[in-house]
Each structure stands twice: as C-alpha cells, then as structure tokens.
Amino acid sequence: SAVTRSGVSGGHGRVDRDGPGIDVAPPMSRKPTRRLLVVMAAGVAVVLSGCGQGWQDEVPAAPVTDLLRTEQISAASQDSAGHRLAILLTAAHQERGEPYDWGADGPQVWDCSSFVRHAYAQVGIRMPRTARDQRAWMADGNGVRVEAGDEQPGDLVFWDDYRGPDEIGHVAMVWDPNRSSTIEARPPQTGFYAYDGAKDNNRFEIWRATELTGPLASG
C-alpha cells in the first residue's frame, strides 16, 4: 500500500491523554530525531510527522535588515514598537537551521509553538505553550485579528492540522508578507517556508499580538 507523508503535530505534537485540555508530550530522546507515527486506516499505512506539514524545502527569504526597511516597518523603527519587532525577527532568525522534533521545547530543538513562544519571550511577551492555546490567548484580548493581505512581519499565522478541520493545530511567524513566507519550526528544521498552501484550509487565521506594539517589557 502507498505511504504518504502528512503532518500530525500542529505546534506541540501532543496528545490529550489525561483529560480535556491536558496535553502530554511524548518522551524526548537526547538526540534530535524526525519522529514518525505509523497508523493503519483502511489497509493504508500513513506516516505522520510533527506539525502536520511533512518534509518541505525552504523558500528564499529576505534578510532582517530588508524587512525593517519596508515602508510600514521603517515608519515605526524610531519607536519602541520598531525596536521590539527587530528583536523578535532577529531572535527567530537565530534559530534557523535548528532541528524540529515533535513536542520539543528548546533550546536547540523546537516544535512550531515552542519556537514561537521562545522568539516572543525575547521581547517580554509570555505566551502559552501550544498552538491552539496561543491562538486562544490572542483572541482573549492579547491580539487583534488581521485580514489576509494586511499581515506584517512578526504576525502569527494559525491553521487547522492534525486535530481536525475545526481545531487550530499549527502556528508560524510571518517573515515576508510580500512572498507569503514564514519562519517556523516544521520538519525537518526551523527555516523559511510558505503559507500560501494553508490559505484554503478550513481554519486559517492571522493574528498580531497587541503587546508587540507597546513598550518593551522587563523580565
């Protein structure tokens, strides 16, 4: 039978084992691996990888300095919001090339939501651990919904994944909206990818953290 690659872990690669809302990560090996799950459905073996996206090649991406020269960003570059954005993008870029692993929480191996949480923590923004909870955190007064086409570098893109068509399962950070590119943790490693293909998903949302436009937080 055919074997296909599709993803499973949208951002946390975790399974609700102990009751609703309690996520338990699979055990982590000391050495980064490309964790696979093999399930049988109607006699067909399906290989599932973390973050629900399968293996993809990186896409070309502009350097941080070019992103900060865009008209929208340069207008804010003299205030704290522009400074925070520069720190956020630089922090994300520094993790490029680090391996992906299902349920990984850093500091040298990531899944999609731990990567986002780490980058935002560098500007004092504390987010929940999972992609689903990060989206809920945004909607609970900590973010504003952004229409497709109005996204900016640093915004977060959420879409449905292994949890099903009605559940958020993956998160990525917008890198260059002109190229619909992200920086994100997905198999096989953290890097630049495209989010065009997710726009037709049942759930596809873009959010901007309101704290990103405020003064730098301490601690």
Quick check: 120 pLDDT over 70?
Answer: yes
State the pLDDT at residue 152.
92
Angle between helices 80-94 and 112-121 (to 10 degrees): 140
Please answer whether residues 114 and 104 qualify as being in contact, where contact means their C-beta atoms are separated by less than 8 angstroms: yes
State the pLDDT at residue 194.
92
DSSP-derived secondary structure letter, 68? H
Local confidence band at 68 (pLDDT 50, 70, 90 cut-offs): low
State the pLDDT at residue 46.
32
State the pLDDT at residue 58.
72
DSSP string, 109-125: SB-HHHHHHHHHHTTT-
Identity of residue 75: A
DSSP string, 126-167: ---SSHHHHHHHIIIIIEEEE-TT---TT-EEEEEETTEEEE
Q: Percent of the chain scored above 90 by pLDDT?
A: 50
Return the number of other C-beta atoms located less than 10 Å from residue 97's C-beta: 10
Contacts for 72 with CB less than 8 Å, ≥ 6 apart: 152
